[in-house]
Amino acid sequence: MNEYDEKNVFNKILRKEIICSKVDEDNNNLSFEDISKQAPVHVLTIPKKKYKDFSAFAENASDGELSSFLKSIFKVANKKGINKTGYRIIINCGSDSNQEVQHLHAHILGGKNLGPILK
C-alpha cells in the first residue's frame, strides 16, 4: 500500500513550488541540501516518483528505479568529496523512525567523524 500525501514538502520541491539547493539530478532522482544540516555534508536524495517511504519503494519500484536510487546516493558522495573519508546513509521509515516528510528520502551525512549511530 502506498498512500501518498500530495501536500508533503518534497513533492512541492519536485513540482518546483518550493526551491531547493540542488546537488544532482537524473531522470529518476533529485538530490538537494538538507535545510537543517546535521553535519558539514548533509544531502537528501529522493526518487521523483511518489513513494511515501522506503517500504513502499522496495515493494513497488522497478529494478531500474531501485538501482538508480543507490547510484544517485553514491554520486552525491563523490560530488561532495566524502567517499574517501566516509559517510553515513540514513533512511527513516515510518512512525518509530520519526520520519517527518512522507516522501522517501535518504540522508547522506559526512564531512566529520559522525560518532556512534545511536546514543
* Catalytic sites, residue numbers: 105
> Is the Cβ–Cβ distance between 5 and 52 less than 8 Å?
yes
- Contact status: 17 vs ligand AMP (CB under 6 A): no
> Is the Cβ–Cβ distance between 56 and 2 less than 8 Å?
yes
Rounded to whole angstroms, how far apart are CA atoms 109 and 114?
8
Whole-number minimum distance, CB 96 to ligand AMP, in Å?
12
> Is the Cβ–Cβ distance between 86 and 98 less than 8 Å?
no
* Binding residues among 73-112 for ligand AMP as defined by CB under 6 A: 92, 98-101
Whole-number minimum distance, CB 103 to ligand AMP, in Å?
9
The residue (of 3 and 63) whose beta carbon lies closer to ligand AMP is 3
User: Residue 89's beta-bridge partner residues?
Assistant: 108
The residue (of 83 and 92) whose beta carbon lies closer to ligand AMP is 92
- Give the SS3 label for residue 23: strand
Which stretches of the chain bind ligand AMP, using CB under 6 A?
Answer: 9, 18, 20, 34-36, 44, 92, 98-101
